[in-house]
Amino acid sequence: MLKLQHTRSEFCIKGGVITRRGALFFIFMGILSILFAQEDVTVNGVTLITKVFPEGEKACAVVIEYPVEIDGQKLSPDQFSVKVKTSDTYSSRTITKVYANNSGDLSFSIFNNRGKYVVLELSTEDLHSNTIVFGPNFLNTRVKLDYIVSQLVPIFDVDGNEVEPFTSKQTDEKHLIIDDFLAFTFKDPETGVEIPYRLFVPKDVNPDRKYPLVVFLHGAGERGTDNYLQVAGNRGAVVWAQPRYQVVHPCFVLAPQCPPNSSWSTLFTDRKNPFNPEKPLLAVIKIIRKLLDEYNIDENRIYITGLSMGGYGTWSAIMNFPELFAAAIPICGGGDVSKVERIKDIPIWVFHAEDDPVVPVENSRVLVKKLAEIGGKVRYTEYEKGFMEKHGWDPHGSWIPAYESQEVVEWLFEQSR
């Protein structure tokens, strides 16, 4: 029988006697055991995977890391639950495929469906799959991703042992291709304008070789200071960094981000002449020249492309700095018709949708017509009325089919000054 003995405000423990300090220790250990019982101890991590699709970045998978190899052949979607926080509640995501591997990549092999990583692929058609929401004043925002992942029933490791259910919030995020871009900020010493920018550097750069540079100018919605929206809002930057294109056309990719209250051209500040370069675009030109000094970039193969506000910026860039660019792909933008003579010798492929409700298609038509009249190297693709909506796209988004075209990619890399 335990006997409590008080000595100098403490409880001593000798033989069967318990002290106050000992009692506190047991209480503390009990609390810890309760806390740890509530924590996820069956998995090492839960990583949320995002990818930039034609319509923008979406959360497309969850990768669960277990401490043991899981038998993937005995897995099924109904064994798991994935929920995302929306407003004040959690909404279910649709699991389309489940498998296991030892890489943690989104790669399934029917011959080796086992490993410490279990991949839950999610439907990109889910209402809450998007990570970016459209905001007022043409300024988009990326939502804070809050996911809860549950294993609902026991599953089996490769030795046939049961692995108990768990529930855990995501512990990490992985952004496919975006994470391969380096992040920098450039401050123009003359104007003081700060431009966040992302730079993709091709793998295994040969010091004896020079590589093309693709410059992407985003639209109004991706303006900001987070140095993320411009590579996540659409595929204008990441398309060139895709592994399947990098194998054939290794290149650098520059994706600057325009400050939130500005533009690439005078589009928002001078309605009478919206085509002159603004300070952010002048800073981008300086970034390009800086990169030419720092990396193995082929000065004869610098390409520029942009959409909407970035389409205006693309026209402005080539018209004011024609000596710098080997080719351009302006999409649903507009430019100064009086300056087309300056860009007569630059290969240009223009894209616009006939029923674009934001930027009038006439902006592109008049430039293409004038260039054709003076013998310019211009190509033009105009998506007829209804084409975009038939594919489920907003008619303003003519960059979606343009950047998905392998012909466009191949055409660009064929150009050289």
Q: What is the pLDDT of residue 154?
A: 97
The answer, yes or no, to whether residue 271 has pLDDT greater than 90, is no
Higher per-residue pLDDT: 268 or 287:
287
The answer, yes or no, to whether residue 10 has pLDDT greater than 80, is no
Compute the average pLDDT of residues 177-205. Answer: 97
Query: Angle at the Cα of 332 (from 329 to 336), degrees rounded to 5?
Result: 80
Report whether 314 contacts 333 (CB < 8 A). yes
Sequence ranges of the domains in the chain:
45-175, 178-414
Q: Who's near 88: CB < 8 A, 6+ residues apart?
A: none
Q: Which pTM does this prediction carry?
A: 0.88
HEC letters along the chain? CCCCCEECCEECCCCCCCCHHHHHHHHHHHHHHHHHHHCCCCCCEEEEEEEEECCEEEEEEEEEEEEEEEEHHHCCHHHEEEEEEECCEEEECCEEEEEEECCCCCCCCCCCCEEEEEEEEECCCCCCCECEECCHHHCCEECCCCEEEEECCCEEECCCCEECCEEEECCEEEECCHHHEEEEEEECCCCCCEEEEEEECCCCCCCCCCEEEEEEECCHHHCCCCCCHHHHCCCCCHHHHCHHHHCCCCCEEEEECCCCCCCCEHHHCCCCCCCCECHHHHHHHHHHHHHHHHCCEEEEEEEEEEECHHHHHHHHHHHHCCCCCCEEEEECCCCCHHHHHHHCCCCEEEEEECCCCCCCCHHHHHHHHHHHHCCCCEEEEEECCCHHHHCCCCCCCCHHHHHCCHHHHHHHHHCCC
Average pLDDT score, the chain = 91
Compute the average pLDDT of residues 84-88. Answer: 89
The answer, yes or no, to whether residue 17 has pLDDT greater than 50, is no
The answer, yes or no, to whether residue 41 has pLDDT greater than 70, is no
pLDDT 10s digits, 171-181: 999 999 999 99
The answer, yes or no, to whether residue 40 has pLDDT greater than 70, is no
Lowest-confidence segment of 131-140, 256-265, 379-388 by average pLDDT: 131-140
> Among residues of the chain, what percentage have pLDDT more than 70?
90
Compute the average pLDDT of residues 330-343. Answer: 97
User: Is domain 178-414 in CATH 3.40.50.1820, yes or no?
Assistant: yes
The answer, yes or no, to whether residue 27 has pLDDT greater than 60, is no
Compute the average pLDDT of residues 360-366. Answer: 98
Compute the average pLDDT of residues 30-40. Answer: 39
The whole-angstrom distance between residue 254's C-alpha and the CA centroid of its chain comes to 14
Q: What is the pLDDT of residue 23?
A: 45
Query: What CATH class does 45-175 carry?
Result: mainly beta
Cβ neighbourhood burial of 42 (10 Å; 0-12, 13-18, 19+)? middle
Q: Can you tell me the distance from the alpha carbon of 244 to that of 177, in angstroms, rounded to the nearest whole number?
A: 12
Q: What is the pLDDT of residue 208?
A: 94
For residue 147, how many C-alpha atoms fall within 13 Å in the half-sphere facing its CB?
A: 29
Band of pLDDT at residue 42, cut at 50, 70 and 90: confident
Band of pLDDT at residue 34, cut at 50, 70 and 90: very low
